[in-house]
Amino acid sequence: MVFPYMETVVGFMIVMYFFETYLDLRQHAAHKLPRLPKTLEGVISQEKFEKARAYSLDKSHFHFLHEFVTVVMDSAILLFRILPWFWKKSGNFLVLVGLDAENEILHTLAFLGGVMLWSQITDLPFSLYSTFVIETRHGFNKQTVWLYFRDMIKGMLLAVILGPPIVSAIIIIVQKGGPYLAIYLWGFMLVISLVMMTIYPILIAPLFNKFTPLPEGELKEKIENLASSQKFPLKKLYVVDGSTRSSHSNAYMYGFFKNKRIVLYDTLIQQCKNNEEIVAVIAHELGHWKLNHTMYSFITLQLLTFLQFGGYTLVRNSTDLFRSFGFDTQPVIIGLIIFQHTVIPIQHLINFGFNLVSRSFEFQADAFGKKLGYSSALRAGLVRLQEENLSTMNPDPWYSAYHYSHPPLVERLAALDEPDKKVD
């Protein structure tokens, strides 16, 4: 008797949907609370609280619908054998246009092209509603319909340009990898991730946003002095025109070795009351660098990727696994897709673990900024970002423990108010 792999996967998807919906209901109830947490009274204005509450409730209602449609669609695709049907149809399409359907690379690219198109079509109504109804209603959306579709088309073109060489290489590696397949796959994906981390901010991100050097002045001088004091090899300071698409704010840094760059969203500069708040936010980000959080996360991700490929090599030739999902052949890409479905329970646990570690890192980075003397400015900056982004003020503790990669504002402020602790 063949083990019901597919039915087990669908069953787990449905169980997780009900579990996460329960957490969503708890969070929704928390959104309805009419008052700020006591620790935020007098810190967050009542006006901002009411706006954040309305924004959170709108997003919550939308989330319930989106998640329901998603689980129904994903379950139906598996239960009604849509994947094997679509795989056969993509092969028929190749024959129709005069190409070799027996060529696995061509067959895979045709299949993935159809999947990408299907995903864009099915997700489009939700994306449009989220952007042009919810985000616009609450004052965040700044992009036009033309800009929205231009970005979408650019993204699809990038996928068409970058996807085929990567997919082709993966298929060839699996076909010829032999006993060291997991190592070859991991090594290839490591190279791809390093290349993408290098070229994305230089070649890809500028296709969507305009990056300009931060003008000379007090803010630039303060950030450069801070970076210099921590021996951070800052080469460039940029401002990105995030306001062309949204009024949400952010800041980040990137680059390898001695070529680091910091990017500030123009909305962050506009929203913070003074330069000290912005510098405090950068001090927090420098804390992640100084404490090697990015490196630890990258190494952990590589280890998990290697283990995942190792697991894939153990099941890639399992006829029963493929048959359970409706396939009478064993294409490489299908094997990877099926394997991803079968390890979903482990991925949920891993994501939960990552969130726990991430929240710990955020506290450490805050403590680092506090150690540099930015406690009050960081406190004010965190409050400002919470207010301007209309972030959830009353998160449910169970929901935040499961979903949040950053601690709630109440917890971060409480940690900043604690007596100084040594940061290793």
**SS3 per-residue string spanning 203-240:** HHHHHCCCEEECCCCHHHHHHHHHHHHCCCCEEEEEEE
User: What confidence tens digit (pLDDT) does each residue in 6-21 have?
Assistant: 999 999 999 999 999 9
Q: How confident is the model at residue 328 (pLDDT cuts 50, 70, 90)?
A: very high
DSSP 8-state assignment for residue 131: I
Q: Is 362 annotated as a binding residue?
A: yes
Say how many Å lie between the first and final Cα of the chain, rounded.
56
Q: How confident is the model at residue 424 (pLDDT cuts 50, 70, 90)?
A: very low
User: What confidence tens digit (pLDDT) does each residue in 267-320 have?
Assistant: 888 888 789 999 999 999 999 999 999 889 999 999 999 999 999 998 888 999
Residue 263, phi then psi, degrees to nearest 5: -120, 125
pLDDT at 1: 61
pLDDT at 205: 87
H/E stretch holding 253 reads: strand 251-254
Query: Which SS3 state, helix, strand or coil, does residue 318 take?
Result: coil
Tokens of 268: 């962050």
Q: In 3D, which of 131, 155, 158, 134 has the Cα closest to residue 245?
A: 131
Give the number of residues written for the chain: 424
Q: Is 248 annotated as a binding residue?
A: no
Query: Which SS3 state, helix, strand or coil, does residue 331 take?
Result: coil
User: What confidence tens digit (pLDDT) does each residue in 120-165 have?
Assistant: 999 999 999 999 999 999 988 998 999 999 999 999 999 999 999 9
Name 18's Cβ contacts closer than 8 Å, sequence gap at least 6.
none
Q: Is 216 annotated as a binding residue?
A: no
Residues designated as active site: 285, 366
Average pLDDT, the chain: 91
Query: Which SS3 state, helix, strand or coil, does residue 405 take?
Result: coil
d(CA 320, CA 326): 10
Residue 319, phi then psi, degrees to nearest 5: -60, -40
Q: What share of the chain is helix, strand, coil (3-state, %, to 5)?
A: 75, 5, 20
pLDDT at 310: 93
pTM of the model: 0.89
User: What confidence tens digit (pLDDT) does each residue in 378-403 have?
Assistant: 999 999 888 888 898 899 999 999 99
Name 124's Cβ contacts closer than 8 Å, sequence gap at least 6.
none
Residue 91, phi then psi, degrees to nearest 5: -65, -40
Q: 184, 313 in Cβ contact below 8 A? A: no
Query: What's the sign of the alpha-carbon dihedral 379, 385, 387, 391?
Result: negative
User: How do beta strands 260-265 and 234-240 pair?
Assistant: parallel
